[in-house]
Structure 1
Amino acid sequence: MKNYKISIIGGTDGLGKWFAKYLRNKGFDVTVTGRDIAKGKSVEKELGVKFTNNNIEAAKEGDIVIIAVPINVTERVIKEVAPHVREGCLLMDITSIKEIPSKTMEEYAKEGVTVIPTHPMFGPSTPSLMRQVVILTPSEKHMKSEWFRKVKDFLEKEGARVIIIKPEEHDRIMGVVQGLTHFAYISLGATLKELGVNIKESRKYASPIYELMIYIIGRIIGQNPYLYADIQMHNPQIKHIHETFISQCNLIKSIVEKKDREGFVKLMKEAAKHFGNEAKRGVSYSDKAVFALTKEMEKLSKMKGKEVGLKHIYSGNVHYGILKDVDGDYIIIEKNGKEIKLSTSNVMVMEEEELKKWKNENLPKYYRDISILFKKEVNENIILDLLKNKFDIEIIDVYEGEKIEEGFKSITFRIYAFENVEEKEKEFLKIIENIGGRRRFK
């Protein structure tokens, strides 16, 4: 696969750029196209790919041509580039609707070009294909092709879960999974806006489920509104789904207005019956989500005054220092006398071993050798085991003899630290004095 040239039409932004970076890092020869030449040149330099603003030339050059433009222009771009894809090559798209792109690619591609409509079920913040769902919707003819086998094998070797369905079935399911979900949560966000609800203030009184809802609404409405508009407006299945949702909202509204308590209970029970065991799973998984919301804050509260590592969930950048305060929305750490304020929603607390590994790989390490006098009968290995709970430490020498007073031995410890090694030394000596040791040299 790595010998093939890949052309990504619309590869300077969003998921197209994500695939350009991912495939380039896997060793592929990647060309990206885009309308904005300045942005294209920037992406070319950033990712080490080739940029052109000529879609047709890119299509002619590519062994694999991937359409990665917004949904509202996908059909037009397919019509533009599909006729120029060479026989024996592969044409794909990665839009979130499949009926229209599938039919258009089949119609406009040359005989001998394999067509594999594709829908990656993740966004450009995803680190890799591992455990991600990728949906393929090829026709029977193209499913039998060598290209289909190669694409499916590549995705599965990268850890993706591949699902193969018909384009019509895909759009029906996505109309619910994406269309209904987005429609409902965007409607909730718009309702809260119309009601004049102060979102931050409301969280002071929030139940865990309300807080989860606010986070999900924020996640959706905080993303690209044009993409979400296209998902609503270009899936042919959406109209029926919207009408069904609104009719159910009106039904519940009518039941509430009539104060029909039994009617409300009946409707809710019927919905629960339809869910079956998924209702119980919903309780379990939402409990986990609620627990996750509080667990990290409780953990942080107990770590005040201690060293913590905080990893940014998008960039992967690590901040570490002494935890000074946590107020729900922000975490404040102190590093080299300076305070750093980080949003709790953007960082995760690193486990002790993870932070230790990161420091070993990224920070310079210093050490200090300190010789301590102990009575001869003291077992230095027991002392070392006790100190290892507090320090990164080893014994480099044990000496008895000349210049050592009778009944004593000298144990030389090496203490390691990434910074403030002098502070570590003071802390070490304080502990040593309390367990009967004394410094040999001053």
Structure 2
Amino acid sequence: MQQELRQIDQEIIQLLGKRIAALSESSTFVETTLPNYKVILQQAGVPNFIWQNIVVGCTAALARKKANIKQTKPRRVTVIGGRGAMGRFFSQQLLNAGHDVNILDHDDWHKAECLLSQVDLVLICVPIDCTLEVIKKASKYLSPTTALADITSIKSPIMSAMLSHHSGAVIGLHPMFAPGVKSLLSQKIVVCSGRMQPRFQWFLDLMEDEGGKLVFSTPEEHDKIMVIVQAIRHFATLSLGSFLSEERINIDRSLDFSTPVYRQEIGIISRLIAQSATMIVDIILATPERRKAIARFANTNNRLAQLVIQGDRDSLISELQGVQSFFKQATTDSFEESNYVIDALTALLTANEVKQASDKKVGIKSYQLQNSSVG
């Protein structure tokens, strides 16, 4: 049976390769979603969600193809903080692209002149609370021909510091993903231009070639939007996690009763607490604007809680209708995306349950055989 399954898997892999190749050669995208093959899927006993995942996966795979990668000469790069999670990620991306990468970490400053003075790019990947200090410290060794970039989640003060302390090319980056991602595929990176952006084009091209999505912004716009995208979101997630902790909720047992959406919420909390507590708190407290916005958010929660306590059904309905009116069409794509995520999560849970049941049967059978042998 195992040999038969391996043979089938090999055939599937080869067919998927052909499908991806055909998609890449097609001048127009041919949508082959469920309606076209519904009858065939039913006859073959293949659930719809499996075909949907194949279609989406093949289309996404096109972003990983290297045919259009721009050839660039190898650059000399030093990553400050390169032993941290994000530093390691970008160091690996640069190494994979053929660039010469050196690491400067907290115990390497005695080699700073050697590591910083004769390189094409210095990329700062350190925690928020020490970024300004690192900029000042590193700038003493930088050549005017060296490009300086950072990946910090606050941009205005960091960009200002880099422009003040370094006379060469400057750019601010903010990767919109946490450590742990395996590639740049469909990951967003905010780009804030500082000075001499063409000097960074090879690096921007590298991120795009790997499937990254560049979002260009001013430092001011970035910081304003990050109040919501990061600070409020992290605070809301922390609040829910703290509440569940205070209530001593049995998380494992609650998942037995959970909807897919609740399971996603628990997953989001899990991702937050898996990261550095210092980093998360620094993101929340980073600017006075973030702290004031969180206070307003808390006031909104308190106001709604009072309506709940009072049992004010009409006011709560009015609140929800006001939110529905505000979001309108903006929620359509997000709703469809969340449906896909829920379907994919359901498939994963089902597969895990099948595997666990199978492993349990194997374990029982093995135990019975061992005991029969002993007897």
TM-score by length of 1: 0.62
> Which residue pairs with 1:279 in the alignment?
331
Q: Among 185, 195, 204, which residue is 2:237 paired with?
A: 185
Q: Among 105, 116, 128, which residue is 1:71 paired with?
A: 128
Q: Does structure 1 residue 161 correspond to structure 2 residue 209?
A: no
> Which residue pairs with 2:61 in the alignment?
none
Matches within 5 A, 1:53-64: 54-64=111-121
> How far off is 1:12 after superposition?
1.0
Distance in 2 between residues matched to 1:187 and 1:273, nearest whole Å: 26
> Which residue pairs with 1:11 in the alignment?
82
> Which residue pairs with 1:117 in the alignment?
172
Distance in 1 between residues matched to 2:273 and 2:197, nearest whole Å: 40
Q: Does structure 1 residue 196 correspond to structure 2 residue 248?
A: yes
Inter-CA distance 283–66: structure 2 relative to 1 (3 Å threshold): closer
> How far off is 1:90 after superposition?
0.2
SS at match of 1:84: coil
Distance in 2 between residues matched to 1:332 and 1:106, nearest whole Å: 61
Give yes or no for contact 2:171–2:193 (8 Å, CA) kept in 1. Answer: yes
Distance in 1 between residues matched to 2:88 and 2:278, nearest whole Å: 17
> How far off is 1:333 after superposition?
9.0
The amino acid that maps onto 2:357 is D
SS at match of 1:92: strand
> Which residue pairs with 1:106 in the alignment?
163
> Which residue pairs with 1:411 in the alignment?
none
Distance in 1 between residues matched to 2:336 and 2:246, nearest whole Å: 33
> Which residue pairs with 1:151 in the alignment?
203
Give yes or no for contact 1:4–1:63 (8 Å, CA) kept in 2. Answer: yes
Q: Among 207, 228, 231, which residue is 2:259 paired with?
A: 207
> Which residue pairs with 2:65 in the alignment?
none
Distance in 2 between residues matched to 1:4 and 1:207, nearest whole Å: 49
> How far off is 1:325 after superposition?
2.0
SS at match of 1:138: strand
The amino acid that maps onto 2:125 is A
> Which residue pairs with 1:132 in the alignment?
187
SS at match of 2:170: strand
> Which residue pairs with 2:101 in the alignment?
30
> How far off is 1:297 after superposition?
3.6
Q: Which has the higher contact order (CA 8 A, sep 6+)?
A: 2
Inter-CA distance 198–106: structure 2 relative to 1 (3 Å threshold): same
For structure 2, list consecutive stretches of 5 or more residues without a partner in the other structure. Answer: 1-71, 368-375
Q: Among 223, 228, 232, which residue is 2:284 paired with?
A: 232
> Which residue pairs with 2:357 in the alignment?
325
SS at match of 1:201: helix
Give yes or no for contact 2:74–2:99 (8 Å, CA) kept in 1. Answer: yes
Q: Among 144, 150, 155, which residue is 1:87 paired with?
A: 144
SS at match of 2:223: helix
Inter-CA distance 107–186: structure 2 relative to 1 (3 Å threshold): same
The amino acid that maps onto 1:30 is V
Distance in 1 between residues matched to 2:249 and 2:220, nearest whole Å: 40
Q: Among 150, 153, 162, which residue is 1:96 paired with?
A: 153
Distance in 2 between residues matched to 1:10 and 1:283, nearest whole Å: 38
Distance in 2 between residues matched to 1:332 and 1:124, nearest whole Å: 34
SS at match of 1:86: coil
The amino acid that maps onto 1:164 is F
Distance in 2 between residues matched to 1:338 and 1:124, nearest whole Å: 40
The amino acid that maps onto 1:171 is D
Q: Does structure 1 residue 21 correspond to structure 2 residue 92?
A: yes
Q: Which has the larger radius of gyration?
A: 1
> How far off is 1:265 after superposition?
0.7
Matches within 5 A, 1:334-353: none
The amino acid that maps onto 1:107 is S
Give yes or no for contact 2:97–2:206 (8 Å, CA) kept in 1. Answer: no
Inter-CA distance 227–333: structure 2 relative to 1 (3 Å threshold): farther
Q: Among 258, 263, 272, which residue is 1:220 paired with?
A: 272
> How far off is 1:131 after superposition?
2.1
For structure 1, list consecutive stretches of 5 or more residues without a partner in the other structure. Answer: 38-51, 305-322, 340-442
> How far off is 1:294 after superposition?
2.3
Give yes or no for contact 2:135–2:165 (8 Å, CA) kept in 1. Answer: yes
| Cα deviation 1:208-234 (Å, max 9, x = unaligned) | 322221121112112221211111122
TM-score by length of 2: 0.72
Give yes or no for contact 1:7–1:61 (8 Å, CA) kept in 2. Answer: no
Give yes or no for contact 2:260–2:346 (8 Å, CA) kept in 1. Answer: no
> How far off is 1:106 after superposition?
0.6
Give yes or no for contact 2:118–2:146 (8 Å, CA) kept in 1. Answer: no
Distance in 2 between residues matched to 1:7 and 1:332, nearest whole Å: 50
| Cα deviation 1:242-291 (Å, max 9, x = unaligned) | 02211110110121122211111111111111111233444433333332
Inter-CA distance 274–156: structure 2 relative to 1 (3 Å threshold): same
> Which residue pairs with 1:350 in the alignment?
none
SS at match of 2:95: helix
> How far off is 1:300 after superposition?
5.5
Distance in 2 between residues matched to 1:19 and 1:2, nearest whole Å: 18
Q: Does structure 1 residue 244 correspond to structure 2 residue 296?
A: yes
Distance in 2 between residues matched to 1:297 and 1:145, nearest whole Å: 46
> How far off is 1:84 after superposition?
2.0
Distance in 2 between residues matched to 1:333 and 1:171, nearest whole Å: 54
> How far off is 1:87 after superposition?
1.0
Q: Whose helix proportion is higher, 1 or 2?
A: 2
Distance in 1 between residues matched to 2:215 and 2:208, nearest whole Å: 11
Give identity over the alignment, percent: 29
Distance in 2 between residues matched to 1:14 and 1:338, nearest whole Å: 42
